[in-house]
Each structure stands twice: as C-alpha cells, then as structure tokens.
Chains A and B, each alone.
Chain A
Amino acid sequence: MLRLMTMVLALLPVLAQAQVVTDAVLDNGMEVVVIEDHRAPAVYHSVWYRTGAADEPPGASGAAHLLEHLMFKATGTLAPGELSATVAANGGSDNAATSSDYTFYYQRIAADRLELVMRMEADRMRNLRLTPAEIETERQVVIEERNQRVENNPGALANEQGMAAQYLNHPYGAPVIGWMHEIEQLGYPDVQAFYDLYYSPNNAVLIVAGDVDPDEVLELARIHYGPIAPAPDLPARIRPEEPPQRAARHLVYSDPRVAQARLWRTYLAPQRISGDQRDAAALLYLAQLLGGSPFTSVLARDLSFDSRIASETSASYWGTSLDATTFRVALTPADGISLDQAEAALDASLVRILEEGVDEARFERLKVQLRASEIYAQDNAAGLAQRYGAALASGLTVADVQDWPRVLQEVTEEDVMRMARAVLVPEHSVTVHLVPEEE
C-alpha cells in the first residue's frame, strides 16, 4: 500500500512537464490561457463568457441559452450558419454550451486553422445581427430541445422541481434552458440586451489547447480580439443570496412515465473559493467516500451489500460554481423496498458516517486514485481546456486550477468530517421522490 503510494507520488514531476500552461491578459481585459499538448496536430479554441442563466433578469429564463443558439446566425460579415459551415469545410467541429455561470463556444480543428476560427469567434463577440425571423425559428428549436431533454423525461422534470425548491432566492433555482412559458415569450429585446451587456472581451476568457505555440496564440489573440473595446459598465457578478434555510423540503413528483421509483437529496453546499479550496476538496472526498464506487463506498456497503435496500447508490459534488452549489446523494430502491424505507436507511447511513468517521484504508486508496486521475485527465486536451474555462468563468484563477491536485492531496480525514457535519444538515436539503404514481 505505502510502496504504491510512493510510486505514484513520483509521477507528479512528470505531470508538471506534460501540462505547460501560459496565462496572459490582453490590454482590453480579455484573459488568455494556452495549454500546450503536442501529441496531435489539433487545436481546441474556446471563448468563455462570464455570464450564464443565473444572470438573466427575472421572467426571462432561457435568454442566455437562446442567445447561445443565435450566436451561430448572421454577423456583419458572416451569413447565418457560415461560421459552423466554414469550420466543417475545414474538417473541424464546433459547438457551444450554456450553464448557470458561463456560456462557452468552441471549435476543434487542425492546428494550422487556429487563426481562421479565431477571426470568426472575435467577429461574433460584437457583430451579431439578430433578426426577428431567425429568433422565431430558433426559439422553436429551443422548445424542441426542451421537449427532448426535459418534457419527455420525468427525471429531468423532477430535478427542475427539486432545484427550484433548493434555491429559495438565488437564480440557480431556474433551469438553464428556461421555463417553457418563459421561453415561449422570449424575444429580440431579451437576447439583444443580454448580448450587449455581457459579450465583451473584459468579460471573456480565451482558452486554447493543443499543438500550438503560446507566443503565436497570444499574437493572434492581440490581432483578432485585441481591437474589441471593453464594455465600460460591466455589472459585478452579485446575485441574490440564499437566506438561512430553515426547513427540510420533501417533494413527491409523480408521472405515469416513471418506470422505476428513485430518490435523491440535494444539500446546499459551498463552492470552490479562490485561494481557499480546501473545503470544496474535502467535499469531493466526501462524495467519493459516500457514493463514488458501487462496491467500496459507504452507501453501497450499507444499502446494497450489507442490506438489500438499494440497487444503485451514488453521491456527487461539483464545486466549480460562482455561488453556493449542491451536494447530492441518490438511490434506486431494490425490489419490494418503498422510497420511505429507502430514505430511512439512507438517513441511518449518513448518521453512521457522521458518528464513525471515514474508513482510513479507503481514504488512502482514494488519494491514490485522485492522483492517478490527474494523469488520465492529461490524455484529453479538450477536457483540460474545459477544466480551466469553467474555473476561470466561476471566480477561480489559473493558480487555483493548478493548485487543485495539491489541495486534494492535503485533505485530511478531519477535513472530510468537518465538512460532512457542515453540509449534511437536513434543514438545508431537498429530498425528491420520483414515483410512477402517487404513493
């Protein structure tokens, strides 16, 4: 055991060499991060705007996401769809995604095409030309997207209800894609206002990963993004905060399309904080210890092996978030077990970890795995770029991202227990029962 850990530790210097990261800021405030990976002649080019669904004004849920779709339409120099068509004609692929905290656009393409995609991405940062007809058609596309992702999926519908109950005041309670009745009302003023306010270089991060030279990337960034004037009145990223949460919430979502009853619970939880990521790192351990493995984690042991309460258990925590995030536990009850019985057993298991603490051997194995996962993560340049992009658009810095593996290795069992006691508080939680019919 110890010998193995020493061996893996010895790998860390190799890692530092494998991942060469350059960080710079253009004169107009646009941050630039370059991650070198010369194994394949490809590049991942992405622009991350520090704005997302949680920045939408009340009543306009879905505006950030609809705008993301419309960013592929006409600009002053590009015809509708021309950006994607040009990327495809050069053998590349492109897409975009919206979250509560950020919106990002990316292209994957041969490394010698970097300037081509950069020129077009810079163009649409300021030169989008929206038309009512395009907005109308694209809103229909988004309605079909919502139908596909949410309305046709009872688990997704229940999850929306759960998040709305979790956040009493913060806009994280609204779905990123938007509520259907608000998507249907979105129009030109909503998306244009959002674009004008937030799409500017001083609110954006450029992440380029792949077979590139950092100096050349910076020079290209100065040429294409550099001339774009920064927005003078960028609002501070301050959202309505949660009041003290004083009541455990229990929801039952019933839908005839539910094949298998399930339950999950979310707890309000702190996010990664720049320069102070230890609590978040401890929560990642807690999630792994509780539900990271179907064999060795606490919930699996208590609910699937030592008893037959659940056919599947999990726990998860995603700390990269501008404001308070959630810690989640979930299970599918075994045949013949009601959700109430399963929830009682889940509660008992959570009490047990609070009383007994963590299994030291499992804790040490987890440390080894987290080190190794850093090695495996280096295999995916786009994944690394997304790690930086999400962090930098969520209030963290390059230094925070690079510190994270070290912070993870410094977490102690005491940290994990301290955070378990702080977070696993019933009054901060929402429990959702997903059932085929009212029980």
Chain B
Amino acid sequence: MLKRIAASAVLVLAALPLRAEIAIEEVTSPGGIAVWLVEEHALPFVALEIRLRGGANLDEPGARGAANAAMWLMNEGAGDMDARAFAERAEELAAHFSFRAGDDALSISAMMLSENMDEAADLLAVALTEPRFDADAIERMREDVLQSIARDRMSPGAIAAQTLYSMVWPDHPYGSDSKGTVESMSALTRDDIVTAWENTVTRADVYVGAVGDIDAETLGGLIDRILGGLPAAGPPGPPRVEYTLAGGTTIVDFPTPQSVAFFAQRGIAIDDPRYFAASILNTVLGDGMESRLMQELREKRGLTYGIGTALAPRDLSALMIGSFASSNATMAEAVGLVQEEWERIAREGITEEELEFARTWMTGEYPLRFDGNGAIARILVGMQMIGLPADYVTHRNDYVNAVTLEQANRVAGELYDPEGLHFVVVGQPEGL
C-alpha cells in the first residue's frame, strides 16, 4: 500500500515545477560589483552573503593562520571604535556579522534589519576597511586560537582529519590547518595580520548573494557602501595540486575507547561533466540512512552511530572523503566492510533501483534547500563561485534526471579506486 503511494508520489514530484517563486535578479551595483538578489519582503530584514576568493590559501610562508587571525579580529574594533564600542554599535543596530577564513575564500555573513540597513552597512564597511588590530585584541585572538589548536590535538576526529589532509597535500596550504600551528601562531605579528588582511580583503574576486526586504537599486547602493572601499586587486593564490596519496591504512595511537576513522581517495572536480553521476553514486554509497555503508555498518551490524561519505571538491584539488567512529574492538571489521563496499561499487556499479532512489531523493531534496533568507543567500553565492548561471536552479534537477544507469556505472568504474583508498584511524583499534 505504502510502496504504491510512494511510487506514484515520485512521478508527481518529477513533474512539479521547481520553486517558481525563486526569482533571481542579477544586479550590478553603480560601482560595478555583481550581486544576485532574491527579493523577499515577508520579513523586515536582509541576509547578505559575501565571498572573497583567496582565503587562507593566501597565507604567506611562515605565517600560517594569518588569514584566520585577521577574520577573528574583524569583530574586534574598527575606525574610532575599540572592540567593545564596535560590539555596542552592532547591538544597537541588532545587526549580526560573522567573518570566517575558509581555505579557498573568506566568508562574510550579515543579517541586517530593514529599518537600519544603511547604518549596519556602514558598520560592516568600517570593519572591513578600517580594522584596528589592537594589541590587546591580538593577544586575545592568539590565546583563543592556541587553545583551540590544543583542543584539536586531543580530539580524535580533528587528529584524524588533519593527519589525512597532511598526507594528501604535504606541500600545499590545504595540507595544514588554516588556524595555523603552535609555532606559527606563537610567532605571528601584527604586520603578518595586516598583510593577510591586505591580501585577502579585496574585491578582486568577490561574490555576493542577497535575500530579503530590499530592491535592486537599494541593494546596489548598499553593496557599494560595504565593498566599494576595498582594494581592487590581490595577490595570486597557490597552484592547483594533484591527489597522489596511495591507498593504505595509517594508525595514530590515541588512548580512547572508540576509534575515529577518516578515509579518502582521489576526487572529481565540480566542473567535471561526470559530477552529477558521481553525486548519484555517492548518494547510493554513503550519503544518508539509506546508503549502502549506513545499512551495512549501522543498520545490519550496529558497528557505528553513523557513517557518511562526500564528494569534496575544492578550488585547487578534489577528493572523496568519509568518516565514522567505532569501538576499538570493532573498528577493523568496520574498515573491512568499507573496503568491500568500495570494491563492490567500483566493480558492479549500482542497480537501476538505486539509481532511481538517488534521483528522486536528490531532486526532491533540492527545492527544500531554499529554506530561509540566509540559506538562499548562501546558495546564490555558492552558485556564482562555481560559475553556474542564475537559471541553473530551474534546470538542475533535469541534469540529475538525465544521468543513465550506463553512465553512472561507467563513472563508478572510473572513479572508485579501492586500491587508492586510504584510512587514517585514531584510537587503539584491535587487529588493524
């Protein structure tokens, strides 16, 4: 009974229009900055998402962690306001700003009330263009980051991830923690931070998404207020880097009852024409409760609370990655099962039924992502960064549905490399 209902519902879903309400306006500010806008006047605020490509990849030699430090300090005073005065001003406006240094880009998120948007934009502009980097703020930042690095060194999950990345990218910024090391952060100077700010906070490669209670003309002026004062050019980033890590298992001894595993192999670039097929394969293998790995490890055997895999393309490299945790006594069995499933999908691919499941899940889940001003703003900026056109949102599900079983299984054979799968296990796993 339910099976039948589910099947007919799927047919209806495929025929549904995909969120006709999403009307993306491509706006160019008077100052020449491109912005994507979705007007949504139901609530009196605007969510703004800004990405400045470069990010922590632009850290200079010996100053690892400088971009992260600069972003940490963006809320710590600007212009004639010290840290507390800046915070008080933001409280008066009830505006929320967050600044984050990703590997490939800086992320700036803002939520601003319609009523005082101009004042909030001015405050954000001052933060970006006139940061103070006061000595006491730098020392607060240094202590916080060093404490965070110390916590990571005692966290099996953080150790596993960082060990794996350092093996995948030994000679590239991707291979080290963007927070920096104890050595680099202990030695970091104000000059290093100023340099990182000058290098990364530019509008050389800027992307903006805005969603909320604002029209195109007002938005153009607002964006120029925020970003118009930034330098127009920045330094080049590091080169692309190939994935060359061989398969195997690396164990990091750590006294804890449950081991944590991260595993990876060569990935696929986001602009690769096979990317949709790869996404379908990843859904079948390791994304969600219905995936093969979740069924084999959790549902059938109770070996883990959860396992997930992901395509993890970055601007300059790509990997496929996964992680899970299992008791020291059962980690070896769990790793063996992951290896078996990796080998099976490479050899057999997926079934027609699995393809259909993945297609309906992916196409049904997609419109649900457009959930709230902030979420939509992040989608808008993400699309721009990978060069997608605005009308992609109306065609994306067609691309998913166009993947045939033959294509998917050809890509499975090309992509999944059981010999190349490398596990990093942190803990005291028995029999590995």
| Residues of A participating in the B interface, judged by any CB pair closer than 8 Å | 1, 4, 7-8, 10-11, 14, 18, 39-42, 77-78, 80-82, 84-86, 88-93, 108-110, 112-113, 116, 119-120, 136-145, 147-148, 151-152, 256-260, 293-296, 301, 304-305, 311-312, 332, 334-335, 361-362, 365-366, 368-369, 371-373, 375-376, 378-382
Contact = CB atoms under 8 A, between A and B. Distances in A.
B116 to A, nearest CB: 7
B370 A40 contact: yes
25 contacts: A1-B92, A14-B44, A77-B2, A81-B289, A88-B288, A88-B290, A89-B357, A90-B6, A91-B13, A91-B365, A92-B364, A116-B6, A136-B302, A140-B303, A144-B302, A144-B305, A147-B325, A151-B258, A259-B152, A296-B87, A305-B83, A305-B84, A311-B143, A366-B91, A379-B43
Given A4-B93, A141-B298, A311-B140, A88 B357 contact: yes
A334 B143 contact: yes
A86 to B, nearest CB: 5
Contacts of A369: 91, 94
Which secondary structure dominates chain A's binding surface? helix
Nearest to B115: A7
Given A39-B21, A90-B364, A110-B364, A8 B40 contact: no
A125 B16 CA distance: 31
A85 B290 contact: yes
Contacts of B357: 88-89
B325 A148 contact: yes
B24 to A, nearest CB: 15
B368 A92 contact: yes
A166 to B, nearest CB: 25
A266 B405 CA distance: 57
Contacts of A311: 140, 143-144, 147
B20 to A, nearest CB: 9
Contacts of A378: 43
B9 interface: yes
B386 interface: no
A293 B303 CA distance: 41
B399 to A, nearest CB: 16
B94 A90 contact: no
Contacts of B5: 116, 119
Contact of A335 (B143, B258, B288): B143
B-side interface size class: 35 or more
Nearest to A364: B92
B301 interface: yes
A93 B258 contact: no
A369 B96 CA distance: 10
Interface string B294-335: 000011111111000000000000000000011100000000
Given A40-B21, A144-B327, A305-B83, 9 more contacts: A90-B10, A92-B368, A110-B13, A152-B257, A295-B87, A362-B91, A365-B92, A376-B96, A379-B374
CB-CB nearest 3 A-B residue pairs: A91-B364, A140-B302, A372-B94
B36 interface: no
Given A41-B367, A311-B140, A312-B144, A141 B150 contact: no
A383 to B, nearest CB: 9
A261 B364 CA distance: 46
B251 to A, nearest CB: 16
A11 B44 contact: yes
Nearest to A149: B305
Contacts of A89: 6, 10, 357, 360-361, 364
Nearest to A210: B371
B121 interface: no
B140 A304 contact: yes
B279 to A, nearest CB: 14
Nearest to B111: A376
Query: Which residue of A7, A78, A260, A311 has the most chain B CB atoms within 10 A of its CB atom?
Result: A311
B94 A371 contact: yes
B95 to A, nearest CB: 8
A82 B299 CA distance: 12
A4 B305 contact: no
B374 A4 contact: no
Nearest to A115: B5
Nearest to A113: B9
A6 to B, nearest CB: 10
Contacts of A109: 364, 368
Contacts of A259: 147, 150-155
B371 to A, nearest CB: 6
A384 B50 CA distance: 27
Contacts of B301: 137, 140
A371 B136 CA distance: 32
Contacts of A296: 84, 87-88, 91
B43 A8 contact: no
Contacts of B371: 40, 42, 380-382
A91 B363 CA distance: 7
B46 to A, nearest CB: 11
Nearest to B212: A379
Contact of B115 (A11, A93, A141, A381): A11
Contact of B113 (A365, A366, A372): A372
B263 interface: no
B165 interface: no
B154 A257 contact: yes
Contacts of A295: 75, 83-84, 86-88
Contacts of B116: 4, 7
Interface in B67-103: 75, 83-84, 86-88, 91-94, 96
Nearest to B143: A311
Nearest to A305: B84
A40 B367 CA distance: 8
B12 interface: yes
